[in-house]
Amino acid sequence: MSDSLTFAVPKGRILDEALPVMARAGVVPEDAFHDKANRSLTFATTRSDMNIIRVRAFDVATFVAHGAAQLGIVGSDVIEEFDYADLYAPVDLDIGHCHLAVAEPKEGAASVDGASHVRVATKYPNLTRRFFEQRGVQAECVKLNGAMEIAPALGLAGRIVDLVSSGQTLKDNGLVETGHILDISARLIVNRAALKTDPRVAALVDAFRRDV
Ligand SMILES: Nc1ncnc2c1ncn2[C@@H]1O[C@H](COP(=O)(O)OP(=O)(O)OP(=O)(O)O)[C@@H](O)[C@H]1O
Ligand SMILES: O=P(O)(O)OC[C@H]1O[C@H](OP(=O)(O)OP(=O)(O)O)[C@H](O)[C@@H]1O
């Protein structure tokens, strides 16, 4: 097998926690990866047959699902939102813990009981619609890519669905949690076809499994 493997990692906050886990499984990027001034998106590793790409969290899942990268690390929020058939998430890495929640302004927070329709600002329209549908409520989603917490104060939507960890961001923006949707942690993801055809992918899954 001479083709190079590609390992996709998110640029965001999971990365610092992921690097030691990756190192224990033998995935170690070249020094240039840690140089903030370096604008390259592809980096060599200490393995001559593997490169690392650094992309946005949602795009990690897309690259791996399409086989453009064989492996990656991503939050389970992203996996659940996309629900790609070609993506397999064999290892919970026990990092990047947070949860997906519904939140509303502290003043005037109301339960959805009785409402048949709600307007929600979120980066997660699929998970949001599914959550409300299960409660018999139709959710109209306004897709945002960040800073969801300011949407209610500006009248964009009555509620938000976003990630919560310490709860500080909700508190600082006058919001309270009114629904718990999903507990989240980061996972090793692999392309199903690559796992079947390339023994190096299965060996890496075993290495990550041994590590956690
Ligand atoms: N407050 C948090 N605490 C713990 N984990 C979080 C938190 N926020 C996000 N995460 C996890 O980190 C992942 C990446 O989040 P982050 O927003 O930092 O990524 P990103 O690559 O900057 O994304 P994008 O560039 O698309 O906004 C999320 O998908 C989630 O799994
Ligand atoms: O409960 P907390 O500990 O306050 O964390 C929650 C915040 O963390 C994430 O945002 P992030 O900081 O990644 O910025 P973003 O809005 O650019 O995604 C998330 O979208 C919340 O805004």
> Read out DSSP for 53-121?
EEE-HHHHHHHHHTTSSSEEEEEHHHHHHH--TTEEEEEE-S-S-EEEEEEEESTT---STT-SEEEEE
**The pLDDT value given to residue 78:** 97
Residue 24 CB burial class (10 angstroms; 0-12, 13-18, ≥19):
middle
Confidence of residue 211 (pLDDT cuts 50, 70, 90): confident
Confidence of residue 31 (pLDDT cuts 50, 70, 90): very high
Q: Which atom of ligand 2 is nearest to the CA of 164?
A: 1
Cα 193 to Cα 51: distance, rounded to the nearest angstrom: 19
- pLDDT tens, residue by residue, 168-183: 999 999 999 999 999 9
Whether residue 185 has pLDDT greater than 60: yes
Residues 76 and 12 grouped into a single domain: yes
**The pLDDT value given to residue 164:** 98
Is residue 82 within 8 Å of residue 102, measured between CB atoms? Answer: no
User: What residues flank ligand 1, with Cβ below 6 Å?
Assistant: 10-14, 56-58, 75, 77-78, 96, 98, 145-146, 163, 165, 184
Residues 133 and 51 grouped into a single domain: no
Residues 33 and 89 grouped into a single domain: yes
Q: What is the dihedral of CA 67, 73, 76, 78, to 10 degrees?
A: -60
**The pLDDT value given to residue 2:** 54
Residues 12 and 90 grouped into a single domain: yes
Strand 5-10 relative to strand 71-75: parallel, antiparallel, unpaired?
A: parallel
b/e code 69-94 from CB counts within 10 Å (16+ = b): bbbbbbbbbbbbbbebeebbbebebe
Residues 205 and 127 grouped into a single domain: no
Residues 85 and 124 grouped into a single domain: no
Domain range for 119 is 98-184
DSSP SS3 for 13: coil
Residues 92 and 106 grouped into a single domain: no
Residues 14 and 62 grouped into a single domain: yes
Whether residue 1 has pLDDT greater than 60: no
| Pairwise pLDDT comparison (43 vs 2), residue with the higher score | 43
Residues 163 and 102 grouped into a single domain: yes
**The pLDDT value given to residue 212:** 75
Q: Domain holding 131: CATH number?
A: 3.40.190.10
List of residues 6+ apart from 66 with CB closer than 8 A: 86, 191
Mean pLDDT of the 122-141 span: 97
Q: What is the percent of the chain with per-residue pLDDT over 70, rounded to a whole number?
A: 96
Cα 170 to Cα 165: distance, rounded to the nearest angstrom: 10
- pLDDT tens, residue by residue, 60-118: 999 999 999 999 999 999 999 998 999 999 999 999 999 999 999 998 766 566 678 99
Q: Which atom of ligand 2 is nearest to the CA of 147?
A: 16
Tell me which ligand sits closest to the C-alpha of residue 81. Answer: 1
Nearest CA to ligand 2 atom 16: 146
Cα 73 to Cα 93: distance, rounded to the nearest angstrom: 9
Place of tokens 């329709």: 117
| pTM across the whole model | 0.94
Residues 180 and 116 grouped into a single domain: yes
How many domains is the chain built from?
Answer: 2
Whether residue 58 has pLDDT greater than 80: yes
Residues 42 and 123 grouped into a single domain: no
Q: What is the percent of the chain with per-residue pLDDT over 90, rounded to a whole number?
A: 91
What is the H or E stretch that residue 169 is in?
A: helix 168-172
Residues 203 and 157 grouped into a single domain: no
Cα 59 to Cα 139: distance, rounded to the nearest angstrom: 25
Cα 174 to Cα 190: distance, rounded to the nearest angstrom: 39
